[in-house]
Structure 1
Amino acid sequence: MIKILIADDSAFMRKVLSDLFAAQPDFEVVGTAINGRDAIEKVKQYDPDLLTMDVQMPVMDGLNALAVIMEIHPMPVVMLSSLTKEGTDETIRALSLGAVDFISKAGGSISRIDTIEADILAKCRAAAKANVRSAVAGARAAERAEKEREKKKTASPVMRRIDLPRHTAHETPTGPSPFAAGKWENPLLRPRSKVFTPHSTSPAEVVPPTAGGGKLVAIGTSTGGPQALQSVITRLPKDLPCGVVVVQHMPPGFTKSLAARLDSLSAVHVKEAEDGDLIRPGCVYIAPGNYHMRVSGSGGGRKIVLGQDPPVGNHRPAVNVLFDSVAPIGRRLVAVIMTGMGSDGTEGMKKIKAEGGYSIAQDESTSVVYGMPKSVVDAGLADEIRPVTDIARAIVAAVER
Structure 2
Amino acid sequence: MLAAHSGIQVVDTAKNGKEAVAKVKQLKPDVVTMDVEMPEMDGITALKLIMAENPCQVVMLSSLTRRSAAVTLEALALGAVDYMEKDARAWVADSATTGMALVDKIIALGGRKQTVSRPLTPMKSEPEHVSNSKIDAVPEVEIPVSVDTLPKFPDCKIVTIGSSTGGPAALQTILTGLPGDFPVPVLLTQHMPKAFTTVFARRLNDLCAIKVKEAEDGDQLLPGCAYLAPGGQQMIIDPLNAAKLIIRESDERMTYKPSVDLTFASVAKGYGSRVLAIVLTGMGADGCDGARMLKKAGARVWAQDKDSSTIFGMPKAVITAELADAVLNIDNIRQTLTHWGQR
Quickly name the TM-score band, shorter chain normalised.
Answer: 0.7 to 0.9
Q: Which residue of 1 aligns with 2:132?
A: none
Higher alpha-carbon deviation: 116-125 or 222-231:
116-125
Give the equivalent residue in structure 2 for 1:125.
103
Aligned partner of 1:246 in structure 2 is 188
> Highest CA radius of gyration, 1 or 2?
1
CA gap of 1:76–1:253, structure 2 versus 1, over 3 A, is same
Paired residue secondary structure (1:382): coil
Q: Equivalent residues in 2 for 1:96-135 (5 A)?
A: 96=77, 97-106=79-88, 114-115=92-93, 117-131=95-109, 133-134=112-113
Q: Do the aligned partners of 1:334 and 1:395 also contact (CA within 8 Å) in 2?
A: no
Aligned to 2:46: 65
SS at match of 2:11: strand
Q: Does the CA contact (< 8 Å) of 1:37 and 1:59 recur in 2?
A: yes
Q: Quick one: structure 1 residues 393 and 253, their matched pair in 2 at CA, closer, same or farther if it must change by over 3 Å?
A: same
For residues 45-56 of structure 1, the aligned pairs below 5 Å read 45-56=26-37
Question: What CA deviation, in whole Å up to 9, does each residue of 1:304-324 have, x standing for no partner?
Answer: 111225257512211111111
Structure-to-structure mapping, 1:251-262, within 5 angstroms:
251-262=193-204
CA drift of 1:356 comes to 2.0
In 2, the alpha carbon distance for the partners of 1:137 and 1:252 equals 27
The aligned amino acid for 1:265 is: L
How many residue pairs align between the two structures?
315
Match of 1:188 in 2: none
Deviation at 1:98, TM superposition (A): 3.0
Where does the alignment leave 5 or more consecutive residues of structure 1 unmatched? 1-19, 154-212
Letter in structure 1 aligned against 2:82: V
Query: Which residue identity lines up with residue 249 of structure 1 in the other structure?
Result: H
The alignment's C-alpha RMSD in Å is 3.3
Q: Deviations over 1:187-212 (max 9, x none)?
A: xxxxxxxxxxxxxxxxxxxxxxxxxx
SS at match of 1:254: helix
Confirm or deny: 8 A CA contact 1:311 1:317 kept in the other structure.
no
In structure 1, distance between residues paired with 2:32 and 2:117: 21
Q: Identify if the C-alpha distance between structure 1 residues 392 and 47 changes in structure 2 by more than 3 Å, giving closer, same or farther.
A: same
Instruction: Determine helix, strand or coil for the equivalent of 2:201.
Output: helix
2:243 to 282, 287, 302: 302
In 1, the alpha carbon distance for the partners of 2:279 and 2:165 equals 12
- Residues 1:348 and 2:290 are matched in the alignment: yes
Q: How does 1:370-385 map to 2 (within 5 A)?
A: 370-385=312-327
SS at match of 1:335: strand
Alignment match, 2:220: 278
Alignment of 1:263 onto 2:205: yes
- Partner Cα distance (1:400, 1:296) in 2: 29
Amino acid at match of 2:256: H
Following TM superposition, the consecutive aligned residue runs of length 4 or more in structure 1 with deviations greater than 6 angstroms are: none
Q: TM-score, normalised by structure 1?
A: 0.69
Q: Deviations over 1:123-181 (max 9, x none)?
A: 331122234754957869xxx9973528x99xxxxxxxxxxxxxxxxxxxxxxxxxxxx
Q: Does 1:81 align with 2:62?
A: yes
Q: Offset at 1:101?
A: 2.5
SS across alignment from 1:28? coil
- Matching residue of 1:338: 280
What's the counterpart of residue 206 of structure 1?
none
Q: CA deviation at 1:24?
A: 5.2
The alpha-carbon deviation at position 221 of structure 1 amounts to 0.9
Aligned AA for 2:257?
Answer: R
Distance in structure 2 (CA, Å) of the matches to 1:100 and 1:281: 31
Alpha-carbon distance in structure 1 between the residues aligned to 2:259 and 2:75: 23
Give aligned-pair identity as a percent: 39
- In the TM superposition, what is the alpha-carbon distance from 1:242 to its structure 2 partner? 1.1
Partners in 1 of 2:66 and 2:37 — Cα distance? Answer: 14
Higher deviation after alignment, 264-273 or 312-321: 312-321
- Aligned residue type for 2:318: V
| 8 Å CA contact 1:138, 1:387 repeated in 2 | no
**Unaligned runs of at least 5 residues, structure 2:** 120-138, 148-154
Match of 1:234 among 165, 172, 176: 176
Residues of 2 paired with 1:138 and 1:86: CA distance?
23
Tell me the equivalent position of 2:150.
none
- Structure-1 residue corresponding to 2:299: 357
Q: Deviations over 1:350-381 (max 9, x none)?
A: 12122221221111011111111001111221
Measure, in 2, the Cα distance between the counterparts of 1:351 and 1:240.
26
Change (3 A) 1:138 1:271: closer
Residue in structure 2 matched with residue 4 of structure 1 by the alignment: none
Preserved CA contact (<8 Å) 2:2 2:103: no
Of 143, 147, 151, 2:142 maps to: 147
> What SS does the aligned partner of 1:57 have?
coil
1:227 shift after superposition: 2.0
> 2:21 matched to 1:40?
yes
TM-score of the superposed pair, with normalisation by structure 2: 0.79
Alignment partner of 1:327 out of 258, 264, 268: 268
User: Cα gap change, 1:38/1:135 in structure 2, threshold over 3 Å: closer, same or farther?
Assistant: closer
**Once the 2 structures are TM-superposed, how far is the Cα of residue 118 of structure 1 from its aligned partner?**
2.8
Greater alpha carbon shift after TM alignment, 301-310 vs 265-274: 301-310
2-side partners of 1:350 and 1:123: how far apart? Answer: 26
